[in-house]
């Protein structure tokens, strides 16, 4: 058993710190290009499918507080077949999200080194963070708390000073892009919120999880919704539309107008720190999924091998190589859409897992926190992500179907005869 060292403040800091990164510092300009001024509404709509997923995630975390998060829940509730799909999906979602964060970090670093291409910076950063993880990385709760509150102070100053600078003329033609664009953009920006789920992977280390997990997670969600809604309103209201639509560093550009050059530098430093935290945690977390799946005999045993420092080097290497391939071959919008699509699919399965565990009436299933409005909350949580994926266009749909197909083929071709474990229903 891991030590229970994480307090409510640590839970809030981890959930918030991994949420307020690329979705705020990088994505608003790209999303504005899709939805226009209504991008503010897209960010708010994106939070809706998150709510039932978080209620379900917290319930499962208090019932099964084990390291491993979503993969562990899906495998133990629905069996190794769905566990294979869930493990691959969660791993890929983390890989895509980390690639997205590294591009964001590269974009903000290019403010200081404009002569270096953003993609090259992202590749270099991926290699550096991979090396850091090969030498070992441990959670530093105190540092995370400090970083999050320093970031929140900067964002409070940004919001407080930015609101009076909003020009209402920038919101004319609010719905000109149409409802379909607003909804599809909500799918694009959904990646902004998914960092909050990282807390499930450390649920085993949380003190008094029945209280601290739900409270910390929902405080983090509330913070994120407010920051995204108000922050994007300021960016839309301050930056000219033609500039915002092409801007990969919209917060820095807005801060320069509001505060001057020093504000731009302060925001850039804050963004780089936020991206670094998310990218490092992303590689750390993503590399553990191949390790967990290998120990469960779902993928080859070499991924369960550790170095003398107990580091899953195979998982780290494959994760970093895949991140580099994504950075080199896909544009930012596609990476964001695919990361969102994979996570939406996983959240639908998480909501379904709660239904499975409750209806199976297993005596050992005794969560310290139970999701309200069962089963309607979970039914909505299953179908709303699927609807959002459908509204995002052909690419996310095809990749989601491809993930399910890959997981199915891999399970029956490789894992089925190697696994003796079963879930609540299979």
- Determine if residue 305 is left, alpha or beta; phi over 0 gives left, psi from -120 to 50 gives alpha, anything else beta: beta
Q: Has residue 421 got a pLDDT over 90?
A: no
- 230 close to 50: Cβ distance less than 8 angstroms: no
- 392 close to 399: Cβ distance less than 8 angstroms: no
- Residue 329 falls within a domain, yes or no? yes
Please work out, in degrees rounded to the nearest 5, the angle formed at the alpha carbon of residue 211 by the alpha carbons of 207 and 214. 110
Residue with tokens 């090259």: 120
- Residue 394 falls within a domain, yes or no? yes
> Comparing 67 with 65, which gets the higher pLDDT?
65
- Residue 110 falls within a domain, yes or no? yes
Calculate mean pLDDT across residues 307-335: 87
Pick from 97, 112, 76: which is nearest to 261 by CA?
Answer: 112
- Residue 5 falls within a domain, yes or no? no
Please work out, in degrees rounded to the nearest 5, the angle formed at the alpha carbon of residue 382 by the alpha carbons of 376 and 385. 125
Q: Has residue 298 got a pLDDT over 50?
A: yes
Residue 179 belongs to domain spanning: 10-418
DSSP 374: T
Kindly give, in sequence order, each residue whose CB lies less than 8 Å from that of residue 380, ignoring residues fewer than 6 positions away. Answer: 52
- Residue 39 falls within a domain, yes or no? yes
- Residue 118 falls within a domain, yes or no? yes
pLDDT of residue 69: 64
Residue with tokens 């071709």: 413
pLDDT of residue 127: 93
Rg value, the chain, Cα: 21
What totals of helices (H) and strands (E) does the chain contain, helices first? 18, 0
Residue 70: CATH number of its domain:
1.20.1740.10
- Mean pLDDT is lowest, of 84-93, 221-230, 240-249, for 84-93
267-289 pLDDT, tens digit per residue, is 998 898 888 878 877 787 777 77
Please give the distance of CA 254 from its chain centroid, rounded to a whole number. 25
What is the residue-averaged pLDDT of the chain?
85
Q: Has residue 2 got a pLDDT over 70?
A: no
Pick from 24, 119, 25: which is nearest to 330 by CA?
Answer: 119
Q: Has residue 302 got a pLDDT over 60?
A: yes
β partners of residue 206: 6
Q: Has residue 377 got a pLDDT over 90?
A: yes
137-194 pLDDT, tens digit per residue, is 555 456 667 777 888 888 899 999 999 999 999 998 889 998 999 999 999 999 888 7
The number of CA neighbours under 13 Å toward the Cβ of 25 is 33
Residues 34-67 as b or e (16 or more Cβ within 10 Å = b): bbbbbbbbbbebbbebbbbbbbbbbbbbbbbbbe
- Mean pLDDT is lowest, of 309-313, 336-340, 379-383, for 309-313
Calculate mean pLDDT across residues 292-309: 80
Token representation of residue 284: 């750390």
246-271 pLDDT, tens digit per residue, is 899 999 999 999 999 998 999 998 89
- Residue 48 falls within a domain, yes or no? yes
In the chain the first and final C-alpha atoms are separated, in Å, by 27
Token representation of residue 289: 């999924």
> Comparing 417 with 41, which gets the higher pLDDT?
41
| Domains: count for the chain | 1
395-418 pLDDT, tens digit per residue, is 888 988 988 898 899 888 888 887
- Residue 143 falls within a domain, yes or no? yes
pLDDT of residue 5: 65
Distance CA 126, CA 99 (A): 8
Per-residue confidence band for 332, with pLDDT thresholds at 50, 70 and 90:
confident
Q: Has residue 67 got a pLDDT over 60?
A: no
> Comparing 96 with 14, which gets the higher pLDDT?
96
Distance CA 193, CA 22 (A): 10
pTM: 0.85
> Comparing 65 with 403, which gets the higher pLDDT?
403
Per-residue confidence band for 426, with pLDDT thresholds at 50, 70 and 90:
very low
Distance CA 6, CA 4 (A): 6
User: What CA–CA distances, in Å, run from 231 to 146, 160, 414?
Assistant: 21, 10, 47
pLDDT of residue 122: 93
């Amino acid at each position: 058993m891991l030590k229970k060292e994480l307090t409510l403040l640590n839970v809030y800091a981890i959930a918030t710190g991994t949420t307020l990164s690329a979705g705020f510092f990088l994505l608003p300009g790209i999303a504005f290009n899709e939805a226009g001024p209504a991008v503010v509404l897209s960010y708010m709509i994106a939070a809706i499918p998150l709510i039932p997923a978080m209620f379900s995630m917290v319930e499962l975390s208090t019932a099964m507080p084990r390291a491993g998060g979503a993969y562990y829940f899906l495998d133990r509730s629905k069996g190794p077949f769905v566990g294979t799909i869930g493990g691959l999906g969660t791993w890929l979602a983390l890989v895509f999200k980390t690639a997205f964060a590294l591009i964001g970090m590269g974009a903000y670093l290019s403010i200081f080194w404009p002569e270096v291409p953003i993609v090259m910076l992202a590749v270099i950063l991926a290699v550096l963070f991979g090396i850091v993880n090969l030498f070992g990385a441990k959670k530093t709760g105190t540092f995370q708390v400090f970083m999050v509150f320093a970031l929140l102070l900067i964002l409070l100053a940004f919001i407080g000073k930015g609101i009076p600078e909003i020009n209402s003329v920038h919101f004319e033609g609010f719905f000109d892009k149409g409802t379909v664009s607003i909804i599809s953009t909500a799918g694009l920006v959904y990646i902004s919120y998914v960092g909050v789920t990282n807390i499930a992977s450390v649920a085993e280390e949380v003190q008094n999880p029945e209280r601290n997990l739900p409270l910390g997670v929902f405080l983090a969600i509330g913070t994120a919704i407010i920051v995204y809604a108000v922050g994007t309103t300021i960016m839309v209201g301050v930056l000219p539309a033609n500039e915002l639509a092409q801007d990969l560093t919209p917060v820095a550009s807005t801060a320069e107008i509001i505060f001057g050059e020093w504000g731009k530098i302060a925001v850039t430093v804050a963004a780089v720190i936020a991206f670094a935290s998310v990218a490092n945690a992303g590689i750390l977390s993503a590399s553990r999924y191949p390790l967990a799946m290998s120990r469960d005999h779902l993928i080859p045993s070499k991924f369960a091998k550790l170095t003398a420092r107990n580091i899953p080097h195979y998982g780290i290497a494959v994760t970093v190589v895949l991140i580099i391939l994504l950075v080199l071959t896909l544009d930012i919008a596609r990476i964001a859409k695919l990361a969102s699509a994979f996570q939406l699919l996983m959240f639908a399965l998480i909501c379904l897992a709660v239904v499975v565990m409750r209806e199976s009436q297993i005596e050992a299933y005794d969560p310290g926190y139970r999701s309200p409005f069962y089963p309607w909350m979970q039914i909505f949580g299953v179908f709303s992500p699927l609807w959002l994926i459908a509204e995002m266009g052909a690419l996310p749909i095809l990749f989601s179907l491809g993930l399910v197909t890959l997981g199915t083929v891999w399970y029956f071709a490789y894992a089925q005869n190697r696994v003796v474990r079963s879930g609540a229903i299979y």
